[in-house]
Structure 1
Amino acid sequence: MILGISLAIVAGAFIGLQNIFNRHLNEQVSSWFATAFVLLTGSMASLLIGFLFQGSDIFDISGMKRSYWFFGLVGVGVIYSMIQAMHRLGPTKTVLISIIAQLTFSLIFDVTGFLSLPKVELKWEDIVGVVSIIVGVIIFNARKKGQVEQAK
């Protein structure tokens, strides 16, 4: 469990960094080129690192379903949407809103068994947790907005 928590924290840090890098990249090139560039460089790095750790086994796709070939489109949607949101909202609001959306949709996917996930029972604690995070974000943004107005 500790390893899982540690990896989730590292993933969160990488997502925050990736969003900042994407924003800077988007200032130099179009959003679509930035999306393609991020996916291409990420794919190349993933293949290289995978090959180093697993050898040629990473290329065994014999058990892969045909539908999985389209899952990369989701990655395009993620990167393009985050680049655009970052440009319009800034890093903090983009990450906060995307985290709320991730939690909300993940809860919906778990409860409904979306895409063959094992169904999870919805508990009131789940709803309270998501609502608490949303309220926290609203308070965070209201406090930040007040600090900006006081600085003027």
Structure 2
Amino acid sequence: MRGIIFSILGGAFITLQGVANAQISQQLGTWQAATLTQFTGFLMALMILLIVRDGNRQGFKQIKPLYLMSGSFAAIIIYSEVTAIHQIGITFTISALLIAQLCLTFLIDTQGWFDVPKRKMNLPQFIGIAMMVAGVVILKF
């Protein structure tokens, strides 16, 4: 149940961040919005880390370099999302974003990429993906 709650919170905050970044980018520019977002995100994560003080600091040495770069993906995410919001609107942007996430996570799960255990997908998962894609197509037209 906690996983579902955190998923809903994450989805809500991704949407709120996209809308806020789109507004910031109109005033400052898209890369400036991405920079500001990354900086404030870093500060928030640092404050939470200092308060919570959980995790293993020694584990940094064992992390693969590719995974250490994951934070840099956010710059591309923010730029792409803000640009899409300006061009096609927030609803269609978030819908397409979710479909892209779902398709890539499907590949990651079924292929076992990034050291994720392989999972077998069955007909219900394929139907679910098809229904989401159909929903986005219907939403667009």
* TM-score, length of structure 1 as denominator length: 0.84
CA contact (8 A) 2:110 2:121 kept: yes
Q: Which range moved further: 59-68 or 5-14?
A: 59-68
Superposed CA offset, 1:25-60 (max 9, x none): 0001121111111001101111111111117x6754
Partner of 2:11: 12
Classify 1:118/1:94 alpha carbon distance in 2 versus 1 (closer, same or farther; 3 Å).
same
Count residues with an aligned counterpart. Answer: 140
Matched residues, percent identical?
29
Shift of 1:66: 3.0
Question: Are 2:44 and 1:45 equivalent residues in the alignment?
Answer: yes
CA contact (8 A) 1:51 1:58 kept: no
Letter in 1 for 2:13: F
Classify 1:105/1:66 alpha carbon distance in 2 versus 1 (closer, same or farther; 3 Å).
closer
Q: Distance in 1 between matches of 2:121 and 2:93?
A: 27
* TM-score, length of structure 2 as denominator length: 0.90
CA RMSD of aligned residues (A): 1.7
Runs of 4+ in structure 1 deviating by more than 6 angstroms, as ranges, are none
Give the 5 Å matches for 1:61-76. 61-76=60-75
Question: Are 2:49 and 1:31 equivalent residues in the alignment?
Answer: no
Classify 1:33/1:21 alpha carbon distance in 2 versus 1 (closer, same or farther; 3 Å).
same
Superposed CA offset, 1:128-148 (max 9, x none): 110011112222333xxxxxx
Q: Distance in 2 between matches of 1:32 and 1:97?
A: 21
Partner of 2:140: 141
Higher Rg of the two aligned structures: 1
Q: Distance in 1 between matches of 2:139 and 2:68?
A: 40
Q: Which range moved further: 61-70 or 128-137?
A: 61-70
| Unpaired runs of at least 5, structure 1 | 143-152
Partner of 1:91: 90
